[in-house]
Every structure is written in structure tokens, then in C-alpha cells.
Structure 1
Amino acid sequence: MSLEKCDIGVVGMAVMGQNLALNIESKGYKVAVYNRDHDKTKKFIEERASNKNILGTYTYEELAKSLNRPRKIMLMVKAGKPVDDVIEQLLPNLEKGDIIIDGGNSHYKDTNRRFKYLQDKGIRFLGTGISGGEYGALHGPSIMPGGDKSAYEEMKDIFEAIAAKTEDGPCVAYLGPSSSGHYVKMVHNGIEYAIMELISEAYDIMRKVFRLSADEMHEIFKKWNDEHKSYLMEITYKILEWKDEETGKPLVDVILDSAQQKGTGKWSVQDALDLNISIPTINAAVNARTLSAIKHERLEIGNIFDTPVNNSLNNDFINSVRDALYIATIIAYAEGMKLLQVASSEYGYGLDLSEVARIWEDGCIIRSALLKPIQKSFKSKPNLVNLIISEEFRKDFENRIPKLREVVSEIKKIGIPIPAFASALDYFDGLRSKELPANLIQAQRDFFGAHTYQRKDKEGIFHTEWQDIHNI
């Protein structure tokens, strides 16, 4: 085997692919890169990869020939059809036992399909979630691989070298078979949506109710982050102090209030519905983004139903917002972990939720001090029914749920939308309710559709003839 050959290939030279290639090379590996736009490959080699152990290739055949066997090729291309197209073009140049790693945000069902398709051809496949954005890709992401376990063992040294590091080790672990890695990344993104929405709702309360400036909110979020140690909180206070070069205003104040989404949060909600799992805070965050996108409708309706905001709350209320944000963030994690727990059983992933929390502790978008106690919770009780009753968080819920209730109650009186805060509280209240009105719903279903019901006082399935159908 030639010493000149490369250890791994990276396909896709957008910023994520470039940064990942540079990260791998910096850990002592030789990397071959390919992009369908040859000029992009050439520019990367001449500029960012200049004088580095990175080889530019310009055909899939050249890429394959440049790699040590078994070949390891990481795809950093747009999810969907582009992944299938690259796989088809790679296959004629690969041999049995070679490894393809999909490092994009692919839908887990696509990953299942590709895993089986490539397995039948003797090619090993890893569906691998990578979180941390462009910075993480370069300096150390959280890596979530699932699929062929022998392929993971081949990739383990590279993954561990490039991943973010904590006192508990590299932020990477083999998560399970088939699509487990991409599923975990999907849920990660759902939690991400929820936390972003919760932070944004806290920001909205502070600017509309207390008329705080961006600089004042910068200081508040910075102080709050002493407790959260959260990446999303950190970027929030940095954003709030950023000034627009053209106007001199805070940049956040000139950004249009219309949020986009790539679909991963929506996928979490869709699959939760399929699995009959309630994740209302994540769902509310997805809905909030969808609502934000219809700016023209909101302007038209807002001109008819204007809601003047009168501040009748004292400044101590901001401390209640702090506590509400903290406990609602824990609820967002609880929803995501519950979805992972059920999906793991349903899809045969065999997920270790304490390991999932561990590899999220650094490098990823939802990294936070909360992940250490979450890891501990599932390590001591792998089958924990829900994070909200764990020993690690029980006191937090006792002390801070009243603050969340206060925030939801007072802000709803004012008329500011806080869908994630309200949904988090409803999730908690629903879970702690020993009696829900679903008995009436089931009676209604039986009345109009003979859907039957169960009884409290005896076993069996029952139906009542609510109507005399012969006289209708």
C-alpha cells in the first residue's frame, strides 16, 4: 500500500466540507477532496489548503484511486437527491468493504434505504449527524454516527481525533444500527428549534414589556448564561451587542422577523406524531417559525387587531422570566429524550441516552451545562420514564414551575405570543395530571363512530348505543 495514498476522502467543498477536511488534516491524516465544481476544488487547494496534506481530485475515479483500502469517503453534500446521485457515481469505483459516510442532515428514512441498498452491494454505510456548524466542523464538532458497526470501528480514530473533547472524552460514539445517527441528529435539531424559540420569546418579553435596549438585554443574557453555559445563549448575547455598520443600530433590530427552516425540526414533529409521542414545545417552535414567515398576513391582521403593550409588571418579573426560561429549556430536552427513548425501542436502535447526552456536551449547537445532569439521570436510570422526574431536576421543577406559570399567565394577559413557554407549561401540567378530560373525548368518539371505550371499574372493551338509529 503506497504511503502516498490518502486516509479519507471528502466529497463536497462548501464551507462545512472544507472545514471538516482541514480539521481531519490537522490531526495528522492525509485527505483527498472532490467537488463537482472543479474550480471550487482548485480554489480550496490553492488557498485554504495550501501547503497542507490535502489532495485535490477531479473525478470520482481519481478520488477512489487516491485512497487507502478500505476506502473511506465522507459525503458533505446537500441532503436528498444529491446524496443518492453521489453514491451512484461513486459505486463503479468502489470495492466490497469500502465505506461511505453521509455527514449531511439526511432524513432517517433515506438513511435506512441507503443502508440496505449499499449493504446489498457489499459497501459499508454510516449515516452520521454532525453538529457545531462551520466553526465546529473546523475546531471540533459533536459527531453522531450510526450504521455498520465495523465501519465505525474503521472510522473511530478519525472521528475521535476531530470531535470536540470534554473531561468525559471525545464527543462521538457509535449510536446504533441503520439510521440511528441521523435520527439522533434530527431530534437534536428539534431540541435546538425549541431552545431558540424559548430564548427568542424571553427576548420579546424584555423588549416589548420592559422596553429594554439590545445592549441591556445583552448584559442580562450574558449573566443568565453563567447558569446555562449554553452555546445558544452565548451567541444570543453576542448578537445583541452587534451594531449594524450602515445604520449604527443594533443589527438584530434591522433583521426581518421572518425565520427560515430546513426541515429537521419539522421531521422531529412528524415522527413524534407517527409514534404517538407528545413534544409540544418542539412543535410550538416549528409552528412559530412557520407563522413568522407569513409577514404580510401578520401586518394585515395586526393593523386590525393591534395589541398595545402596557407595562404593569415590575422589574423583578425579569427574574421570573429567567427561571421560566431555565425550566422550559429542561422541558425541551425532556421532550427530545422521550422521543429518542420511544424511537429507539420502535426502530431497534438500542440507544444509550446517557451517551447521547455525553456527546452533546460540547461541539454541538445545543451544548449546555444541563447535559451533564441529563447524562447522569439516564446513566443511573436508563429506563427513566421522563426527565422531569429525575432526581437531578426534581428540585428545579418544584422551585421554578411557579415562575413559568407566572410568566405564561401575565404575558398572556398582555397579548404577546409565547407559544413555546405556554406549550412547555402545558406539557408539564398534562404529565402531572392524574385525570385528563380524554374520557369525554372517548365518549364522543363512541357516540358518533362506535369507536368503543374502556372503563375504570372493570376490564374489557365497551360500546354504548347512544342514539336510537332506528328512529333517525
Structure 2
Amino acid sequence: MTQDKFLCDIGFIGLGVMGKNLVLNLADNGYNIAAFDLSDEKVQALIAQDEIENTTGTPRVYGCSSYTELLSQLKAPHLIVLSVPAGDPVDQICENLIGAGIQPDDIIIDTGNSLWLDTVAREKKYKSNFLLFSSAVSGGEVGARFGPSLMPSGSPYAWARVKPIWEAIAAKVDKKTGKPIERTQPGQVITDGEPCTTYIGPAGAGHYVKMVHNGIEYADMQIICEAYHVLKSALRLTCDEIADIFSQWNKGPLDSYLLEISVEVLRHKTKDTNTPLVELILDKAGQKGTGLWTAMSSLELGCPAPTIAQAVYARSISSFKELRTQASALLTGPQQTALPAAEQQEIIEQLHDAMYCAKICAYAQGFQLMKLAGKEHGWTLDFASIAKIWRAGCIIRAAFLQSITNAYQQNEHLDNLMLDDFFIKQLNERQLNWRKAICFATMQGVPIGALSSSLAYYDSMRCETLPANLLQAQRDFFGAHTFERIDKTPGKKYHVQWSTKDRETVVVDS
């Protein structure tokens, strides 16, 4: 079909799963799009899909065959959205657009999962050529199509231009209840509700926040998987029985998108054998790097995030399938025995509380990491607003994000979520069940790295005195690294000649 040419509001480059759906979302909200991809098949597939879904009677998407044509089809100043893999592809497109004649007041929005440091470097690199803006997108294919959570950052001037567009296409929550407003049909537009997007801060801030979002996502997924493993391996429940339990849990404080989809996954059967499909999926998990980046950043900043790190390690160890198969035939564990129904129910209740507490810890770690990163890089991050925009549209959307929002609205300087009154109460009431669930899983030989590391984090945080005093003595013994004393002036450094008979204590100038 021959397209009528018209000047478009937005240029769009990259028509993969996310890009295609973002274009259709933009079109539903009244924007005309000039679309380009290196694959002409993807361009034509988008146009065909828009023709099916478009009920306006006028074209909404114009397919382009080059960067030059893309620019020629846009209203000035140009606004161009990228939905391409992180790394070199972003820079290549930026260079191609410079060659095609992009102007200094044009805006390019990177919506991929770019490393935040790359975003900072790109803004400086291209500042004389165009305005680089970034906006991480969460929500997967469905979120992109019907309303994602958007985390924009960069030039405030660029945000002023982008804001009405982003607020239009973002997921919405009810202003009174804080619950998501569902949008599931092409052409459907939601004009009321609170949009799940807000300006995060300077260049890199949005991608950093999205990175931490993904780190929490890793942890949340692993926590659910460990609960599944306990129920499946130790309690010997079927996938349908586990789905029933998860479904019931999803009606309470564990209510979340990830638990909801886990129920659907567990219930899905193969057509030929009626076997739960999940039991036929190879147990080797993939990862794209954002969870690893989060764990690395936590180490660099000295901000503990053990639940997130353990989730990354769990994916890594799953990749050693052959080695695990070999070890399973050689290394022994406890003998598992069937439990009476009443005892099983107790374990299930304990596991529920363990999941909830571990989830609180994962979010606490993520928000504390963002807080320290903000101080390190001079970002003023609004954590109540960040929690708000995660209530719908994103992968980690969950009911208790409203409680996190409330916590930061009451105390914007909160150092750790575990110190908020609501979460103090939740943890104190459930910590005993948390311990019992971990004891049971450990005695059954079921690996629960995320659940148990969360408990270690909780116990470390509530422990006024940790054994780091001995550790400092060890460091001073072999490396003269010095230490402070609790009975002396704070800040004074001391060193001991540990190997000599006199063991003289030396005051070291601080």
C-alpha cells in the first residue's frame, strides 16, 4: 500500500518487540510517527499492524528507508526515540543521524537499557550536535504497548518537551487507591489517573534507577523461585498445587505482577502430554547484565545488597548444568521425608512470611543503593516518586510499593526502608517464621541463597556490634592497617606490634 507523506511528530528508530509496541502506544495517544529500522521487514510489519489497529481513518505511521528520510518527515525541532540494544548500536545511530543533518536543538531519546555511565559520556560527547535525553522503559512487551513505567533523565529543557508525551503513554494508577488502571485494547486511551513517569534527574540518573529496578527484579524473581523449589522439592507439591498457593498469596501483601505471572506459568500445560511446561524447561537462567551492574555498583559504593547479588549468583550457578549434574551424583545431602498435612501447612505459612521479609530486604537494599549513588553523583532523587512510578507498568509492580511511597512521603531522608514504622512492624511480626522457613529448607537441602542472605542482611542491620572488631585486628596484624578504639577519641588510629612480647600500642596520626 502506498503511503501518503505527512510531517510527523516523532521519529522512531528500532522496531523490535519493545520499539514496535512503543510506536503503537504513541500512535494510540494521537502522535504521528516516522519509523525506521535496518530491517525493512520490521518497518512493513509495523505499518501492517497499524493498519489493522488504526480506527482513526488517517495514517498514523510513516515508514522510512533511511536516516535522511526520517529527518525529512519530522516537524522541527526533531524528536527522535531510539529503541535499540545498549552499547555500540546507540553510538552508531547517533553518528548516522549527525551525518544525516540532525541539529543542535533536536532531541534523541535513548530508551534502551544503557549503562548509566555510557549515558553520561554520550551526553558530553554529543552536546554540540544534539540534545541526548534518556528514558529507561520497564514493563516488557505488554507495558510498552499499553503503558510502561518510564524513568527519564537528562536536560530539563528536553524533559519539558518530552513530558506531555511520556505522561500520555505511561501506565496510570488510580489517584485515590494507587492501584493500576488497566489498559488492554488497541486504541484505548486513559486520560485520568496518575502517570507512572517522573523526571529522575541529570544524565545517567534515569538509567541508574532503571538498573536498580532490574536488580530488585532479579532478587524478587529469585525469591519466588526459591519458594517454588521448597514447595516442589521438599513438600513434593504439584505445579497446580503450588499455583493455588501462589494465587492465594497474591491476594495479600505479596500481591505483585511477578507472582501473578508465576501462577500462569505453573498452570500452563503442554498440548500433547498435558505436562506442566515449566517442568520441561532447561534450568539454565539467562541474564542481560543489569542485575550484575547493580551488584557491581553496590560493591563499588560499599552499599550492601546481598539479596540482589545472590540472585545474580543463582543465575550464574544455574548455567553450570553439566557440573551440577556431575556433583549431584557425588555429593550427599539430607534425606527428605514426607510431612503430615498440618505440618505442611505450617511450612507454607512460614514460607509466605519468609518471602515477604526477603522482598522487603531486596527493596530496602535497592533504595539505599540509589540513595548512596545520589549522594556520590550529586543527584537529588525523589524516592517517593520513584516508588510511585513503579506501582504500574513495570515488572516489579507490587501492592506494597504504595507502602514504600508512604514511607518516603513521611520521611524523605529515610536511610533504609527497614527503619520505617510500617516495615519495622512487618519484619518484627514475621521474622520468627522467616527463620523457621529457612531452617526447614536448609535441613531439607534446598538451596535458598536469596531468602537466607536476606535474613543475614536483616540480622546484620539489627546487630549493634558485629565481629568487624576482630577483622580489623587481623588486618592490623598482617598489614598494619590500624583501627579505632571505642574507649578513645573517635577518629584516632591505633596500631599494635602484635608479634612482639611487649605488644606496644602505637597511636597513628589520623
Q: Shorter-chain TM-score category? A: over 0.9
Contact 1:330 1:370 in 2 (8 A): no
Aligned to 1:232: 258
- 2:269–2:277 contact (8 Å) kept in structure 1: yes
Greater Cα shift, 326-335 or 261-270: 326-335
Q: Where do residues 344-355 of structure 1 align in structure 2 (5 Å cutoff)?
A: 344-355=374-385
Is the counterpart of residue 86 in structure 1 residue 93 in structure 2? yes
Letter in 2 for 1:304: L
Counterpart check, 1:178 vs 2:199: no
Q: Secondary structure at the match of 2:493?
A: coil
| Equivalent position amino acid for 1:196 in 2 | M
Quote the residue 1:282 is aligned against. Answer: 308
Q: Deviations over 1:297-349 (max 9, x none)?
A: 00000110143422455322101101111111111111100001110111112
2:499 maps to what in 1?
467
Using the alignment, how far apart are the partners of 1:116 and 1:27 within structure 2? 32
- In the alignment, does 2:206 pair up with 1:206? no
Q: 1:219, CA displacement in angstroms?
A: 0.8
- Residue 413 in structure 1 maps to residue 415 in structure 2: no
**Residue 125 of structure 1: SS of its match in structure 2?**
strand
Counterpart selection for 1:328 from 351, 358, 370: 358
Q: Distance in 1 between matches of 2:488 and 2:234?
A: 53
- Deviations along 1:155-202, one digit per CA (max 9) or x if unpaired, are 111100000001241000000001000000000000000000000000
Matched, 1:310 2:337: yes
| Distance (Å, rounded) in 1 between the aligned partners of 2:174 and 2:45 | 38
Per-residue CA deviation, residues 264-284 of structure 1 (Å, 9 max, x unaligned), is: 000000011000000000011
Question: Which residue of 10, 15, 37 corresponds with 1:35?
Answer: 37
Alignment equivalent of 1:254, drawn from 268, 280, 285: 280
2:397 aligned partner: 367
Secondary structure of 1:10 counterpart: strand
Unpaired stretches in structure 1, ≥5 consecutive residues: none
CA distance in 1, matches of 2:289, 2:295: 10
Amino acid corresponding to residue 249 of structure 2 in structure 1: W
One-letter code aligned to 2:216: I
Q: Distance in 1 between matches of 2:452 and 2:50?
A: 47
Is 1:140 the equivalent of 2:147? yes
Amino acid in the other structure paired with 1:192: E
For residues 207 and 19 of structure 1, the distance between their equivalents in structure 2, rounded to whole angstroms, comes to 36
Which residue type is aligned with residue 447 of structure 2?
Answer: P
Are the equivalent residues in 1 in contact too, given 2:173–2:392 (CA < 8 A)? yes
Residue 102 of structure 1 is matched in structure 2 by 110
CA distance in 2, matches of 1:267, 1:310: 40
Letter of the structure 2 residue corresponding to residue 279 of structure 1:
A
**1:198, 1:49 → 2: CA distance?**
43
- Equivalents in 2 of 1:14, 1:4: separation in Å? 24
Question: Structure 2: which 5+ runs fail to align?
Answer: 176-193, 502-510
Q: 1:420 deviation in Å? A: 0.3
CA 306–49 in structure 1, closer or farther in 2 if over 3 Å, else same: farther
1:343 is matched with which residue?
A: 373
Q: Provide the secondary structure at the position in 2 that maps to 1:291.
A: helix
Q: Which moved more, 1:240-249 or 1:145-154?
A: 240-249
Displacement after TM superposition at 1:428 (Å): 0.3
Q: Give the aligned CA root-mean-square deviation in angstroms.
A: 1.4
* Equivalent of 1:299 in 296, 321, 325: 325
Q: Would you say the 8 A contact 1:147–1:179 is kept in 2?
A: yes
Q: In structure 1, what is the equivalent of residue 72 of structure 2?
A: 65
The one-character-per-residue Cα deviations of 1:82-123 (angstroms, maximum 9, x if unpaired) are 11111111123211111010000000111111111122x152
Query: How far apart, in 2, do the equivalents of 1:270 and 1:95 lie?
Result: 37
Give me the whole-angstrom Cα distance separating, in 1, the residues matched to 2:431 and 2:83.
42
CA shift, 1:40, in A, is 2.0
Q: 1:216 aligns with which of 241, 245, 258?
A: 241
SS of 1:304's equivalent?
A: coil
Q: Shift of the alpha carbon at 1:248?
A: 1.4
CA offset digits 1:366-406 (Å, max 9, x no partner): 00011001011011111112101101212101111111111
Matches within 5 A, 1:381-392: 381-392=411-422
Structure 1 Cα separation of the partners of residues 41 and 455 of structure 2: 52
Distance 1:126 1:229 in 2: 34
CA-to-aligned-CA distance 1:407-437 (integer Å, 9 cap, x gap): 1122112211000000000000000000000
Of residues 152-161 and 389-398 in structure 1, the stretch that sits farther from structure 2 once superposed is 389-398
TM-score, normalized by length of structure 2? 0.89
Contact 2:266 2:276 (C-alpha < 8 Å) held by counterparts: yes
Q: Residue 269 of structure 1 aligns with which residue?
A: 295
Q: Retained in 2: the 8 A contact 1:22–1:49?
A: no
Q: Equivalents in 1 of 2:68, 2:488: separation in Å?
A: 69
Residues in 1 aligned to 2:344 and 2:27: alpha-carbon distance in whole angstroms: 55
Counterpart Cα distance in 1 of 2:155 and 2:51: 31
Residues in 2 aligned to 1:246 and 1:165: alpha-carbon distance in whole angstroms: 40
Instruction: Give the distance between the partners of 2:16 and 2:447, measured in 1 at CA.
Output: 37
Tell me the residue number matched to 2:15.
13
SS at match of 1:350: coil
Does residue 1:118 correspond to 2:150, yes or no?
no
Give the Å deviation of 1:438.
0.3
Contact 1:130/1:141 (8 A) holds in 2: yes
d(CA) in 2 for partners of 1:186, 1:348: 18
TM-score, length of structure 1 as denominator length: 0.96
Conserved? CA contact 2:136–2:206, under 8 Å: yes
Instruction: Give 2:73's aligned amino acid.
Output: S
By how many angstroms is 1:4 displaced? 3.0
Q: Secondary structure at the match of 2:35?
A: strand
Asked whether the equivalents of residues 103 and 128 of structure 1 are also in contact (C-alpha less than 8 Å), the reply is yes
Matched, 1:166 2:191: no
Q: Check whether the contact 2:98–2:129 (CA below 8 A) recurs between aligned residues.
A: no
CA contact 2:50–2:60 (8 Å) conserved in 1? no
For 2:393 and 2:455, locate their aligned partners in 1 and report how far apart those are by CA, in whole Å: 29
**Residue in 1 aligned with 2:185?**
none
What is the count of residue pairs matched by the alignment?
466
Q: What is the CA distance between 1:468 and its match in structure 2?
A: 4.2
1:422 matched to which residue of 2? 452
